[in-house]
Chain A
Amino acid sequence: DAGVIQSPRHEVTEMGQEVTLRCKPISGHDYLFWYRQTMMRGLELLIYFNNNVPIDDSGMPEDRFSAKMPNASFSTLKIQPSEPRDSAVYFCASRDRAEAFFGQGTRLTVV
């Protein structure tokens, strides 16, 4: 398996624009997580899914953030409208029973 795949790797966008981050989990993993990493707050859990169903979205900072998992092999994290304070590295991870693997992340810069 190629591991967790995220796209794009880098995204630069203007404030107010919509941003969509994409993730393909490892086949067979039934948990998918979205994390955000910043220097100030470290790794923060935004939302996670089990069998495509959102289980805990309490980490989603505002209504501007939304996430979907339409099937077992694809998830999106959308920010609309984006703001400069959303600039961070966004990681997707998937997990089987014990092992949790991360993608390479999307570095988002909102100017």
Chain B
Amino acid sequence: GEDVEQSLFLSVREGDSSVINCTYTDSSSTYLYWYKQEPGAGLQLLTYIFSNMDMKQDQRLTVLLNKKDKHLSLRIADTQTGDSAIYFCAEGDTGRRALTFGSGTRLQVQP
């Protein structure tokens, strides 16, 4: 079945770049997603990438996809304290099934 794995915790200093990594197993994945969850809140869709793309950039966010290795990363440039949250990686296909989520990476930004 589908499986998505992430490291549990990342700590960075304010102003540095953060890189959150994710691996997935399903080769039929069409979309790869990054969500952000702040305490007590829902999951906010940050960005997603088609599986036939290598990179997507959106302001401070850069998503890199290595389809051969089934590896996805999210880079946050100039990380701010407001970026402290849990970041979830997820994969899905064209809609025939639900998204499969990783366990989330807690990002702690130190001032």
Q: Which residues of A contact B (CB under 8 A)?
A: 30-31, 33, 42-43, 45, 48, 50, 55-56, 91, 93, 95, 97-105
Contact = CB atoms under 8 A, between A and B. Distances in A.
Interface of chain A: mostly helix, strand, loop or mixed: strand
A95 B42 contact: no
B10 interface: no
A91 B95 CA distance: 18
Given A99-B45, A101-B45, A104-B41, A42 B98 contact: no
Interface of B: 31, 33, 35, 41-45, 48, 50, 88, 90, 92, 94-95, 97-101, 103-104
Contacts of B94: 97
Given A103-B42, A104-B41, A98 B48 contact: yes
Given A98-B31, A100-B92, A56 B45 contact: no
A99 B48 contact: yes
B33 A42 contact: no
Cβ-closest 4 pairs across A and B: A102-B43, A104-B42, A102-B42, A43-B101
